[in-house]
Structure 1
Amino acid sequence: VDYIPQEAVIFMWVEVDADTVIDTPKEVRTFKVFTTGSGIPNNARYIGTTIDNMKGEAHHVYELRD
């Protein structure tokens, strides 16, 4: 997870098994960004954190599960 201040966006890279990318049906997953101090729902699983050094803010990425 990385924050790009010039664009004010968060990028997230994921690693997948190359053998499953072509022939496997796509799986829809939901991710949400929370700032420090925000309430995190019980169905959220922590993925990573990135920092906006210009504003001194932390952004925490979670996967939301059913």
Structure 2
Amino acid sequence: MKTPHPVHTLRASLEASRLNAVEALAAAKGSPTPDALRELATLQAALTAVQQEIDIHGVKLGWGGGDELK
């Protein structure tokens, strides 16, 4: 089995962190706090940036491509 590129490992870590943040917001009673929303927004921005870089540069830099990234 091939070891995943660090960029893919980063993406997976960000996805897991985002899921945890969403689950925490869903479990919280009352309105989400500004800090919780800020954390979720930061995770989403980072995940979007990583995914864009994979989409743009992944194949030519050897990070894989196509269906394996989705």
TM-score by length of 2: 0.23
TM-score by length of 1: 0.23
Structure with bigger strand share is 1
Structure with bigger helix share is 2
